[in-house]
Every structure is written in structure tokens, then in C-alpha cells.
Amino acid sequence: MTIKKLIDENGKVTAGIFDQPVEEINYLDYDLRTVMDRPRSRLARRWRFNQFQFVSAMGSSWVFGMALVDLNLVGNGFFYLYDFETGTMLEQSFLQPFALGTHIEPRPEQGMASFNKGDVALKIIAGAGGRNITVSAPGGIRVDLELKEDNDPLRLVCPAGYSGWVFTRKSAGLPVEGEVCWDHRIWRCDENTRGSIDWSCGFMRRETAWNWACLAGKLSDGRSLGLNLAAGVNETGMTENALWLDGRCIKLGVARFLFDRYQPGGDWHVTTEDGRVDLQFVPAGVRKEKLNALVLASNFRQFVGTFRGYVTDEAGTKIPVAGLRGLMEDHFARW
């Protein structure tokens, strides 16, 4: 069964975890109000709605990440590749005023997202069981990746602020095929490459800060492992925290991140209150960005590195994690 539209005929949204796919995020039908209960106009609903998508592919010796962001006042597209063998971070980032050239269809299961600026073209196409990711840019940059077997994502609607909400659809530990070409070098996916998908939108809090962890890889026993943890966002009575074992989603408890924000090269420690995650993260590279444009602001640090420790499955069996690649993020946003 598919949920045709997220917002019902009364302009309301139901918070919670959804087992069924959501076909359309019909956000313009939402009864958005001010904090004094005055209905907002259709134009206000359009301009207050934010969307972004992030996808990653994690090999044994490299990690690729790409994001498309539509904040209405500005559009952002960025992508990077970190090579563990050389310690090199390759990255490109582009801004477009008023989100020109930025298009994200509000359809999490079958929609298309794109960012275009000059000769740069980024695209994410959702389809049955996965995502196709393409990039074309000057400098010999060409990306063609397919994330597969996305059959059990976590879908969540969470209240945000006094009258807003966020919808997010996440999955990790997905098999990936394809390659990344950059300046005459090629990084190819193999049978151990795994990826993640983050599709998020909503009427978000004006100021938001969060920590986020994601890993995707293949365990020594051959099973696929994926993990998504967050603190500071999407945790109003529920969380977006989940573990994927061979593609099956297992919900987790509240996450806690221990790190020194002002010593960014140090190790991180992340746990969950249910005791099912206890991981150390050693950063190797970082993509960071600071923007302070009065109305909009962002202090963004996304670290690429290696996880070690353990996770625990539903049967209580501890699963060792050693040498799997992943991401850690520390982010403040005003939008």
C-alpha cells in the first residue's frame, strides 16, 4: 500500500514512522500557521519549505558524497571524493541565488533532483529499489553510480518547532555499482562498496543544529551493514536512528555524540541509550564550509573516516565493526 499524499484533506500531517511509501509531499496543502496561530499564505508556505538530498558511496579506500539543497533563497550543489591511500580530498561546491537551476521533485520514491550551473550538472533519479547518481563537470569529472536494493528505508515525520515538521527517508548499507572519474583518475565500485541515501524536506526550525553519523560497508562475515544516527534534529518523541543488516532496518534508541568541536581532528565516540551502538570514529579528511549571509547561515563540517567498535542486532549478538568507512557531521544551520 502507498500513501498518496503526506498532507491530508484538512491540511494536517501525522507524525510518526511510516511503513508504507509516501508518493507525494504535498507541502502546499499544509495548514502552516504563525506562532500566534495566524494562517500563512500559499507564498509563505512555498518560501518556508526546504529540501535537500545527500547520497554517498563508501569503498574500502575511498568515499564519495554528493548533496543537492534547495533553500529557496539559495541553491547549493556539492560533491567530493576522499582517497584514503593518498589522503587527498577532491571537492567542488556551487551556489545559485534564489535556487536557480535547482530542482527537487517532492516525491521521495520516484522523484528526480538536479542542480545545474554552467557546465556543471548534478542529478539524482529515484526509481524502484534505488537511486541513480550522475555528475558532469569540467576537469574530467564524471560520476555514474547506482545505489541498489533500497527496499527497507526508514521513513519518519517529526514535529519541528511550534508548527513545522520534517519528513526524512533514510537508508544505508546499499550495494553500489559504477565509478567516479576525476582528472583522469578512476575509482571503481567493487563487491564491498556500499552507500547511503538521505532524502529530507519540511518546514524546519529557523535555527537548527545537529550531529550525524553514517556508515556503510561489508562485514567480515559477508553481511552488509548500514547505520544512521542523529542528535539535535528529528528526535521529538521518536528518532531517525537505525541499523541496517543485509538491507533490513532495525530501529535504535537515542544517540549521544562525544567530541571536541574546537579540536576537529580528534576522535569521536558515538553510542545509543539502548546500548546497541558503541563506536569510535577516527577522522581522516573533512569537508567544511562557513556561510554567514544574515538571513542564511551555515557552519558545516563533514568528516570522512573509519569506524571501530560494535553494534548489536535484535537477538542481542554483538557484531564487531573494524575498518568500515563512514561520515560524521557537526552542523549549524539558519534558514
Is the pLDDT at 136 greater than 80? The verdict is yes
pLDDT at 237 (0 to 100): 85
Measured from the Cβ of residue 262, the count of other Cβ atoms closer than 10 Å reads: 6
Q: Which of 89-103, 145-159, 240-254, 288-302 has the lowest mean pLDDT?
A: 288-302
The answer to whether the CB of 203 falls within 8 A of the CB of 30 is yes
* pLDDT bracket for residue 128 (50, 70, 90): confident
**pLDDT tops 80 at residue 48:** yes
The 10s digit of each residue's pLDDT in 184-209 is 899 999 999 999 999 999 999 999 99
Q: Give residue 124's pLDDT.
A: 98
Number of domains in the chain: 1
When pLDDT is averaged across residues 294-319 and rounded to a whole number, the result is 95
Count CA within 13 A, CB hemisphere, residue 236.
Answer: 18
The H or E element spanning position 314 is none
Check which CATH number belongs to the domain holding 315 and give it.
Answer: 2.40.370.10
- The range of the structural domain enclosing residue 84 comes to 3-334
pLDDT for 66 beyond 90: yes
pTM to 2 decimals? 0.96
pLDDT band at 265 (very low <50, low <70, confident <90, very high): confident
- What is the CA angle 108-169-37, rounded to 5? 85
Q: Please tell me the predicted confidence (pLDDT) of residue 236.
A: 86
What pLDDT, on a 0 to 100 scale, did the predictor assign at position 202? 98
